[in-house]
Structures are given as C-alpha cells and as structure tokens.
Amino acid sequence: MLNTPLISTSKKKEKCVLVGLISQNQNKEKTEEYLDELAFLAKTAGLKTMKVFEQRLPTPDNKTFVGKGKLEEIRTWIDINPVDAIIFDDDLSPSQVRNLEANFKDIKVLDRSLLILNIFSQRAKTDQAKKQVELAQYQYLYPRLTRMWTHLSKQKGGVGMRGPGEKELETDKRIVRDRITFLKKKLEKIDKQSMTRRKERNRLVRVALVGYTNVGKSTLMQVLAKADVFAENKLFATIDSTVRKLVLGNIPFLLTDTVGFIRKLPTTLIESFKSTLDEIREADILLHVVDISHPSFEEHIDVVNQTLTDIGASDKPTILVFNKLDLYQPESEEGLDDHLATEEDLQKNLARLKSSYLSKNTENVVFLSATEKENIAELRSILLKTLGEKHFDIYPNWDPKQNPLYDWQGEVNWEESEG
C-alpha cells in the first residue's frame, strides 16, 4: 500500500508552499530558521518551495493549525499560483489533517514528520532500513488513516475526495495493524542477526560518528577511512549505518557512520530505527560532528545531545569535532557585521568555544575541515589517545611499550585494513 510514494518521483518538479507559526515559545527568527530547514527538507524530497506563510498565534488552532483569515489568504494565493502540496512545520493532528484536506481539496497536505518519513523511504537501501521506514510510516499513518486513504485515492484519481465508508476504514485499519505486526516480527529477526554480528566484533574498540544531518559525518568518514561513503549536500544522505575497520597507531578499531539527527524527528522514526541506533548505543567512543559554519550550530549540538540522552547513549567519552572550519565566519570582537574578523578574532572565538564545551563526557574539542583536510592530524592524535585508553580497558594486559602509541610522530598508520 505504501509503495505509492506520497511525493511523485517523476522528472517534473512538484511545487509546494510552507506554513509555520510564530508562537509563545518560538519567536520570528526561530520560526524563519525552521522554515528554511523545512524548505531544505522539501528540496531533498524533490519539491520546490514557491512561498512561505507565517502566522502569529500563541498556540496552533485546534481545527486548522492556522487561523481562518490566514487560511483564506493561503487559499487565495494557491488559486492564482497552483501548487502540489502544502507543508506544515509542526505535526498535524488527525482532525487538523481532515479539516485542512477539506479546505485544500486538490493538493496534498503534509507535515514535517511525513516529509521526513518520505525522504527516509526514498533513501533507505538495505532491507532493514526499508522495513524500519515502512514500520514508521504505518505507525504514523495509523491514527490518520482517513488521510492516507484520501492520498491514495487522489493519486489513483477518480475515486473522489470523500473519505472511505466506515466498513472500508475498518478493513484498512486491520490491514495496517497486521502489517505493523508483521514488520515488527521481521525486524526483530534482523535485529537478532545483527546483534550476533555486533557481538562478534566486540573485541574491537568501536567509534561512532554522530551529529546533526548534513554536518559532514560521511565526508569525514571518507577522509578517515578513505572509504567510498555516500556524501552529498542534502539532508539524510545516510540512512543505513556503514562500518569500517581501521587501524590507528597499532590499534584496530571500528568506525561507524550513522544517520543524522534533526529537530522534531518523528518519534516513530526514532523508535523503529532503534537497531540502527544500537550502533551508537554500543559504541565506546563518539565523534560528535558539528557544522560550525551553520548559524544554529549550538542548537544543533543541543538537539543531538538530547537525542543521545533519549536513546540512552549520553554517557560515552565524546570528542566534539567542529567541521567546515573553512566556511566559518566568526563574529568580530566588535560584533559588527561589516568589521572583518581577523585571525586573532578567529583564534579567540575557537578558544572560547573549546572551553565552553569541555565537560565530563566531552573529553576533547577539535576544529577541522573535512573537505580541505585541515587539522585531520590533530583529530587523529586526540582519537589515538582515547582509543588507547579504551583498548586498554578491553585488553588490560596490553603492553603499550611493545605497541608504542605515544612516540607517534606525524604520519600514522591510518588505513583501511581488509575485513
């Protein structure tokens, strides 16, 4: 049933408008930034954003998310400039969806979660990732089943815009419930298999690259592992995690690239990606990658830390890797936009950032550029030290004198070994 994509993948680019609220706990600046991110998500899904609507409301309208006047304004605009979809930045309740669909009869009504789910389903490659996404989609759609029905009927055309009768809806619900049960069982089985595989790898120190989406995790993995990892300037380039075996200064370890995090990530998605996230949960060391050139990188760090806490992986030794240093424009001392920041400003800024982020778990902070291969050596030497300690935890009899770690100078043995 879900094989029909909600967003068509045909050549013709579909158009959309975006809607966001300026509310009690989200000021105008934040809302606009979220909407920029939503536009990027839409682009990733293959949609072109034609216009963005904002409304000031203390809380979303129960019935239609935005107020009556705003709804009319959007309607009028769309009548003149036809679009294929209208996307809301926050999750819509089943009844909001119903009301909005009644109002925008001829176009698709989506929210951020559904958009993210759609991107994930376009990008999932392995059997496990595909099943995980499908499960998340069904769990998301189940309480909104009328909507799915109307989506499907719209795509098939002809069936008309009325929702299904009670009987069809009941049948539909049962089919979806059965499918959820089936997928859960299948995933449990895959989960057991990958757990065995992970256990077999248990003798090696495990390092996971984590971070917000599009910060450069896969690019860094490429640089570190010289591996062919899919990286591109789109959100959620990586859905499946990739594992490489590497050797650094005589210490073998496993490096895992993982799916990026984002604000308002659908909870059903986090749940069904549990086993992929196990790679993070079971890691010994985290490389938390941050895009320092992004205006909201500090909020990104918070989102990632919160997600790590949610999945029970917040207490691991972490190296904070500030990436995209080549694009970083620090504020000048004066804080004036037209005053060009000097090298001194830059160094002061980095020193301040470093001291503010060092903590119990954040053992170290490094600034680098993965694409420019700048400061990679510093990351290596920092990682080497943490690796050494972890390796020693696993092999208490390990003699660093015979495997000299700390007399390392310059080039290290950092290469992909077979396996």
| 110 annotated as ligand-binding | no
Strands 242-248 and 251-257: antiparallel
The DSSP output letter for 87 is: E
> What DSSP assignment string belongs to 29-56?
HHHHHHHHHHHHHHHHTTEEEEEEEEEE
Please state, in angstroms and rounded to a whole number, the distance separating the CA atoms of residues 341 and 406. Answer: 37
Pick between residue 49 and residue 214 the one whose CB is nearest to ligand GTP: 214
Give helix 166-200 / helix 145-156 axis angle, nearest 10°: 100
Pick between residue 41 and residue 183 the one whose CB is nearest to ligand GTP: 41
> What DSSP assignment string belongs to 116-132?
HHHHHHHH--SHHHHHH
Please state, in angstroms and rounded to a whole number, the distance separating the CA atoms of residues 36 and 209. Answer: 25
Cβ neighbours of 350 (radius 10 Å):
17
CB 121 within 8 A of CB 137: yes
Pick between residue 144 and residue 217 the one whose CB is nearest to Mg ion: 217
Q: For residue 112, give the H/E element and its range.
A: helix 112-123
Among positions 229-248, residues that touch ligand GTP (CB under 6 A) are 231-233, 235-238
Please state, in angstroms and rounded to a whole number, the distance separating the CA atoms of residues 411 and 216. Answer: 23
Please state, in angstroms and rounded to a whole number, the distance separating the CA atoms of residues 252 and 416. Answer: 10
Among positions 167-226, residues that touch ligand GTP (CB under 6 A) are 211, 213-219
The DSSP output letter for 237 is: -
| Residue 326 engages ligand GTP in binding (rule: CB under 6 A) | yes
Among positions 366-395, residues that touch Mg ion (CB under 5 A) are none
Pick between residue 139 and residue 241 the one whose CB is nearest to Mg ion: 241
| 258 annotated as ligand-binding | yes
| 302 annotated as ligand-binding | no
Shortest spacing between CB 346 and Mg ion, in angstroms: 27
| Burial letters 226-235, b for 16+ CB under 10 A, else e | ebebebeeeb
Pick between residue 97 and residue 237 the one whose CB is nearest to Mg ion: 237
Pick between residue 238 and residue 318 the one whose CB is nearest to Mg ion: 238
Pick between residue 215 and residue 384 the one whose CB is nearest to Mg ion: 215
Pick between residue 72 and residue 372 the one whose CB is nearest to ligand GTP: 372
Binding mask 255-284 for ligand GTP (x = CB under 6 A): -----x------------------------
| 323 annotated as ligand-binding | yes
Q: Which stretch binds ligand GTP (CB under 6 A): 159-167, 331-339, 343-351, 365-373?
A: 365-373
| 10 annotated as ligand-binding | no
Question: Among Mg ion, ligand GTP, none, what does residue 164 contact (CB within 5–8 Å per kind)?
Answer: none
| Residue 238 engages Mg ion in binding (rule: CB under 5 A) | yes
| Burial letters 375-413, b for 16+ CB under 10 A, else e | bbeebbbbbbebbbebbbeeeeeeeeeeeebeeeeeebe
| 59 annotated as ligand-binding | no
Pick between residue 61 and residue 416 the one whose CB is nearest to ligand GTP: 416
Shortest spacing between CB 123 and Mg ion, in angstroms: 10
Shortest spacing between CB 213 and ligand GTP, in angstroms: 4
Please state, in angstroms and rounded to a whole number, the distance separating the CA atoms of residues 103 and 177. Answer: 29
Cβ neighbours of 70 (radius 10 Å):
19
Identify the residue among 121, 132, 218, 250 touching Mg ion (CB under 5 A): 218
Q: Which stretch binds ligand GTP (CB under 6 A): 162-170, 311-319, 366-374, 375-383?
A: 366-374
Please state, in angstroms and rounded to a whole number, the distance separating the CA atoms of residues 233 and 140. Answer: 27
Cβ neighbours of 210 (radius 10 Å):
28
| Residue 349 engages ligand GTP in binding (rule: CB under 6 A) | no
Q: Which stretch binds Mg ion (CB under 5 A): 72-80, 113-121, 210-218, 308-316?
A: 210-218
**Phi, psi of 404, deg, nearest 5:** -55, 125
| 45 annotated as ligand-binding | no
Question: Among ligand GTP, Mg ion, none, what does residue 327 contact (CB within 5–8 Å per kind)?
Answer: ligand GTP
Binding-site annotation, residues: 211-218, 236-240, 257-260, 323-326, 369-371
Per CB under 5 A, residues contacting Mg ion are 217-218, 237-238
- Per CB under 6 A, residues contacting ligand GTP are 211, 213-219, 231-233, 235-238, 260, 323-324, 326-327, 369-371
Binding residues for GTP, as ranges, are: 211-218, 236-240, 257-260, 323-326, 369-371
